[in-house]
Amino acid sequence: MLEKRIYTRQELIEIYNTQRLDAIKNKVKREGYSYIDSGRGASYTMQIVEIPKGQAFKEYCINVLKFAPQTDFNILRCYLHNFIYNDGFITLQYNEMKEVLNKQGIDVCEKTIASYYEHLKGIGWAYKTPFEYIYYVYDTEQQHNRYISQEEFREMYKGFYKQVRKDGGKFYNAERIIREKYGGKPKKRPLLQKNGFYNEQYNAVQELLEKEFSTI
């Protein structure tokens, strides 16, 4: 990956692993760079004047955020755009994140989304808020989550265990009743938030997104 600067012939030989200047120029063009060359022989230099769209974003994600070079950076770009600009995105489950990205024209599987999510947690971009949770019921018929309050969550489980005690410790009838009444069992997961310690990195990615991509 080249930068906007002047490269000597020897630097280019080392980067592209070939002595042939014509082969180097062809590779630079195919990679999407614009350049101005000058000099001949050992004194030849190549000035990179324009880098491919998205290249700076890609380099930042690899060098600073430590994403793998083989990452699909178009998908990651959209994922990070939602992470930074959509306050509620980070609290969604993988299937819900997938729905958001699909609506934006991005074809992505939940496994990929999960890997991005875990990576951002691993580098400290997101953290679990102590003792704060998101409460929801997964509606098996509608196949989506319905979000509820902590009070609703407690009332649902209060009724659930009341039925379990009534049935002598058996869960089958209580589970049937709660599915019929609410569409599924109430659940909770830790609330995830962005880590303000990394605001400088958030701002850097935001600047790259706005500079290199006019639309999502």
How far apart are alpha carbons 15 and 8 in whole angstroms?
Answer: 11
Tell me the per-residue pLDDT of 163-216, one tens digit each, with 9 for 90 and over: 999 999 999 999 899 888 888 889 998 888 889 899 999 999 999 998 776 544
Tell me the per-residue pLDDT of 113-129, one tens digit each, with 9 for 90 and over: 999 999 999 999 988 88
Report the share of the chain in percent with pLDDT over 70: 98
Q: What is the mean pLDDT of the chain?
A: 90
List alpha helices for 53-198, DSSP H: 55-63, 73-85, 94-103, 110-122, 150-166, 172-182
Residues composing the chain: 216
How far apart are alpha carbons 35 and 5 in whole angstroms?
Answer: 10
**Amino acid 130: pLDDT:** 82
pTM of the predicted structure, to 2 decimals: 0.70
Nearest to 37 by CA among 4, 1, 8, 2: 8
**Amino acid 143: pLDDT:** 78
Give the SS3 label for residue 183: coil
**What average pLDDT does this structure show over 6-33?**
93
> How large is the C-alpha radius of gyration of the chain?
26
**What average pLDDT does this structure show over 1-23?**
93
**Amino acid 213: pLDDT:** 66
Cβ–Cβ contacts within 10 Å for residue 49, how many? Answer: 11
Confidence of residue 72 (pLDDT cuts 50, 70, 90): very high
Tell me the per-residue pLDDT of 79-93, one tens digit each, with 9 for 90 and over: 999 999 988 899 898
**Amino acid 216: pLDDT:** 45
Confidence of residue 133 (pLDDT cuts 50, 70, 90): very high
